[in-house]
């Protein structure tokens, strides 16, 4: 346990809080512990957009239904003959 705490640059007491799942421990400490265990890649994969289908649906629903572009210049009369 002391070796893991040293590799994660944290104290043994903080490491015990991580093991207990204490939500007050910062995400950076969790990432450092996962890195020390060689499991940091799993954290990145769990945060990937492709692994969150509910979030994808919510983001799609939040998109505007119609986009209106603002005109930068007034329209000129057309010379239809």
Handedness of CA 50, 35, 2, 27 (dihedral sign): negative
Given this model, what pLDDT does residue 44 score?
81
Over residues 24-68, the pLDDT tens digits come to 999 999 999 999 999 988 888 887 888 888 988 998 899 888 878
Q: Residue 81: is its pLDDT beyond 60?
A: no
Query: pLDDT-derived band of residue 71, with 50, 70 and 90 as boundaries?
Result: confident
Helix and strand tally (H, E) in the chain? Answer: 5, 0
Domain ranges for the chain: 2-48
What is the C-alpha to C-alpha distance for residues 48 and 30, in angstroms, rounded to an integer? 18
What is the C-alpha to C-alpha distance for residues 23 and 19, in angstroms, rounded to an integer? 11
């Amino acid at each position: 346990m002391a070796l893991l705490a040293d590799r994660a640059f944290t104290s043994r007491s903080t490491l015990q809080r991580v093991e207990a799942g204490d939500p007050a421990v910062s995400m950076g400490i969790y990432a450092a512990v996962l890195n020390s265990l060689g499991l940091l890649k799993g954290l990145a994969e769990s945060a990937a957009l492709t692994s969150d289908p509910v979030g994808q649906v919510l983001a799609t629903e939040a998109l505007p239904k119609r986009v209106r572009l603002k005109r930068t210049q007034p329209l000129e009369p057309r010379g239809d003959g």
